[in-house]
Amino acid sequence: MVRDLSGPDASDILAAGAVLWRLRGGRLEVCLIHRQRYDDWTLPKGKVDPGEHVLAAAVREVEEETGHRITLGRPLPGQRYPTRLGPKRVMYWAARADDGAPAWEPTAEVDEVVFLPVDDALSRLTHQHDATTVAGLADGPLRTTAIVLLRHTKAVSRASWDGEDTERPLTHRGIADAYRLIPPLAALSLTRVVSSSALRCTDTVRPYARDRGLDLETERLLSEEGFVEAPDRAAETIRKLLVDGEPAVVCSHRPALPDLLAAATERARCVVPSVQLPPGGFHLLHHRDGVVIDIETHRV
């Protein structure tokens, strides 16, 4: 699956959620919720708040409606349907259930949270579009690993900077966007932060690294200068991250990112997007054993 969320239709009401899954006795079970207001069985989801990133919204809504704190996995088939307030677009991801989640206490919105085998869940779901989303979970790998290829946020222009280009800083907007990246990256539980050695890149991912208590690894090969000198070696750093299998964010520059994406997707099972990332935009790659299964494109 390839999903471009870098510019969603502004006319749509955007919502986000997840299909929670767990294995019991080798059998796949998924989570359904019952909403008293509608008397329906559905999947946990909710509207994206103003200024909230869709990835962060999915994690927040699932916790609010099920008590499960999750890490988002691969994207699942989304939904778009009419409501009295206008068309609604709902984005879903796979997510492993939280084994430490407390027993659900009924609320005014959700009075029951249950896990059912897939066939039973499909029979109980009220809405057919939810069944299509659940079927998407069963059709692919349950466990994937995320790698984010991130373009640094907005930097001071070259024309207005007299110092070394590697020391060119972020603008005020770029700094603000670097902090805005924390929630969507946290939704993926990325545990490794790798950056071009250029200041505009390290300052883009430093807020996330500090927030999560992670080391910030710098790599000159991912800088514009390092990439020009040795593009093959820069691409090899991405291949190695795939082999290592640790969830990671890699921050680099517009000229290098297409080649880095190409290196990451040499064995991809999906179409590779050709969209150019804006400052703070990122490709989210979901892979299994180094083979990219799904790709999403986001903006900060």
Residue 11 is predicted with a pLDDT of: 76
132 and 171 share one domain: no
Can you tell me the mean pLDDT for 193-201? 98
Burial class (CB in 10 A: 0-12, 13-18, 19+), 281: buried
Q: What is the pLDDT of residue 1?
A: 64
* 6 pLDDT tier (thresholds 50, 70, 90): low
Q: Is the pLDDT of residue 8 over 60?
A: no
Of 168, 164, 145, the residue nearest 279 (C-alpha): 168
Which of the four pLDDT bands, split at 50, 70 and 90, describes residue 28?
very high
Whether 63 shows a pLDDT value over 60: the answer reads yes
Question: What average pLDDT does the segment 79-95 reach?
Answer: 93
Q: What is the number of structural domains in the chain?
A: 2
Q: Are residues 188 and 132 in the same domain?
A: no
Among the candidates 138, 166, 196, a domain finishes at: 138
Mark whether 208 and 127 lie in a shared domain: no
200 and 287 co-located in one domain: yes
pTM for the structure as a whole: 0.95
Nearest to 271 by CA among 254, 252, 295: 295
CA 113, CA 60: separation in Å to the nearest integer?
16
- What is the distance between the alpha carbons of residues 193 and 246, in angstroms, rounded to a whole number? 10
- Helix, strand, coil percentages (3-state) for the chain, rounded to 5, are 30, 30, 35
Q: What is the rounded distance in angstroms from the CA atom of residue 174 to the CA atom of residue 179?
A: 9
Residue 240, domain extent: 145-298
Structure confidence at residue 85 (pLDDT): 87
pLDDT of residue 112: 98
The pLDDT, as a whole number, for residue 142 is 96
What integer is the mean pLDDT of 138-164? 96
Angle at 132 between CA 128 and CA 133, to 5 degrees: 115
Q: What is the pLDDT of residue 2?
A: 62
CATH number of the domain to which 86 belongs: 3.90.79.10
Instruction: Spell out a b/e string for 239-250, using b for 16 or more CB atoms within 10 Å of the CB, else e.
Output: eebbeeeebbbb
Which one of 95, 115, 138 terminates a domain? 138
Q: What is the mean pLDDT of residues 171-195?
A: 98
Q: How many CA atoms are closer than 13 Å to the CA of 265, on its beta-carbon side?
A: 24
CB 44 within 8 A of CB 172: no
pLDDT at 39: 96
**For all residues of the chain together, what is the average pLDDT?**
95
**Three-state DSSP class for residue 287:** strand
DSSP string, 217-257: EEEGGGSHHHHHH-HHHHHHHHHHHHHHT--EEEEE-TTTH
**Residue 141 to residue 294: CA distance in whole angstroms:** 11
The pLDDT value recorded for residue 9 is 62
